[in-house]
Homo-oligomer: A and B are copies of this chain.
Amino acid sequence: MPFDYLPPIFRPSDSKIVLLVMDGLGGLPIEEGGPTELEAARTPNMDRLAKEGMLGQTIPIRPGITPGSGPAHLALFGYDPIRYEIGRGVLESVGVGLKVNPGDVAVRGNFCTLDEEGNISDRRAGRIPSDESAPLVERLQGIQLPGVETEVRQVKEYRFAMVMRGEGLDPDIEDTDPQRTGVPPLPIEANSPAAEKTAQLFGQWYAKARELLTDQPKANGMTLRGFATDPNLPNYQDSYGVRAACVSVYPMYKGVASLVGMDVIAFEGESPHDEFAALSRVWPDYDFFFVHIKKTDSKGEDGDFEGKAKIIEGVDQALPQLLGLKPDVLIVTGDHSTPARLRTHSWHPVPYLFWAPATVRPDDQPKFGERACARGGLGTFPALDTMPLALAHAGRLEKFGA
C-alpha cells in the first residue's frame, strides 16, 4: 500500500476529485527575464482558480531526477517510482496499448543488423524508419507457438513491444542485447529454473522470427530486453478508497492507469473538449478522475514554445466545461517539466494548482505560472503527496489518532 496509514482513516463521501495532468507542463523562459510557456499563455480560467486556490510546485520523483512518463505518473498516483518499479517491457507494452496481465511476460524488442557470421553490425538496424519496420512487425505477429499466445506491436522505428501469454510463464530472463557490435546477440537464458520453460518459448519464437527476417538487409535480427510481468501494484481503490477513472488519448497513460486499477474510459476525438465530454458522461460513476493532456509535452519536445503555450490556452478555454461539473477538488499540474528550450523532459519542479473551494487556505497568488507557484502556499513538495492532499480536501479522511 503506498500509504499504510490512509485506509484505516477512510471516510465515506460522495465528493469528486479531478487530477488534470498537462504532460510536461513545466517550462523555462526562452529569453532573459521572459515568461515560461505557462506564464506566456493566456489562461483566465486557471488564473481565477489560482486566485481562489493554492499554488505550489512539485518534485516529480527526487530532486534532480528527470522522470520518464511512467514513473512521473506513478508518482502523481502516489506510488513512489523508486519503490514500485514497472519493468521496462511492461512500460513499453502498455505504452503501445498492449494489455499486460499478471502471469504475462512483456519485453522490448530492438531490430538490429546481423552480418554473415551472425554478429551485430548495427544495434538499431540503421534506425530503420517506422514505415519500413511496420510490415516486419506484422510478420512477427503471425508467429504461432504451441500453448501460448504472443502479441507484437510496433513502438517506432527499430523498436517494438511484445507480450507472451499462457500458463506458468516467468519473466526472470536475461536481456539479449550485448550492448556492443561485433558479437552475436546473447542467448535467451533463464536466470532461475522457474523461467526455463519461458526462455525456451522465447527461444522458439526468436528462431521463427529470424527465419521471417532473412530477406531483410537491415532488420534481419533483434535483441530482447526488459522481460517483465504485471508489477502487481496495490489497487487504487484499496489504496485511496475511490473509484477511479482515466481519460486519456494516448495508450501509455491509459496503460499506467490500468496498472494501478483505474477504469480506462473509451471515447472519440482527442481535444480537451472531447476529453472533458468523456469525463462528463461517466461523472456519476466515479469518485476520482485522471485526465491526461499529451500535447503540451509533444510541443515541448519539438522546441515549440508558442505551440506549447497555445495547447495550454486550449485547455484553459475548455476548462469551464469541467468546472460546470462542480468538482470538490481540482488539481491542475503536469507530470514533469518539458521546457521547449531544452526540447526534452527535465528535472525542474512542476507548477501545481490546487483548487478546493470549501477548504483551501488562499495564498494571494493571482496567476498560474512557475514563478507564482514557487511562492505559493503549498510550498515545494513531492508529487507523491497529491493523493493524501486531495483526499483530505475532499473530506475523505478521518482524524489520525485521538
A residues near B (Cβ < 8 Å) are 3, 5, 9, 28-29, 32-33, 36, 52, 57, 61-71, 81-82, 86, 88, 91-92, 95, 342, 344-349, 359, 361-364, 370-371, 374-381, 385, 387-393, 397-402
B380, A68: Cβ atoms closer than 8 Å: no
A65, B397: Cβ atoms closer than 8 Å: yes
Shortest CB distance A91–B (Å): 5
Partner of A67, one of B32, B62, B399: B399
B392, A347: Cβ atoms closer than 8 Å: yes
A61 surroundings in chain B (CB, below 8 A): 400
The CA-CA distance from A374 to B379 in the complex, in Å, is 7
Total identical chains: 2
Q: Which residue of B lies closest to A363 (CB)?
A: B374
The CA-CA distance from A380 to B56 in the complex, in Å, is 11
8 nearest interchain CB pairs?
Answer: A379-B380, A64-B388, A68-B401, A64-B392, A71-B401, A374-B377, A63-B385, A347-B392
B359, A364: Cβ atoms closer than 8 Å: no
Q: Which residue of B lies closest to A34 (CB)?
A: B362
What are 29 A-B contacts defined by CB distance under 8 Å? A5-B62, A9-B65, A28-B361, A32-B52, A36-B361, A62-B388, A63-B388, A63-B392, A64-B390, A64-B391, A64-B392, A64-B393, A65-B388, A65-B392, A65-B400, A66-B392, A66-B400, A68-B402, A69-B402, A81-B400, A91-B402, A347-B389, A349-B379, A362-B371, A363-B371, A363-B374, A364-B371, A379-B380, A380-B380
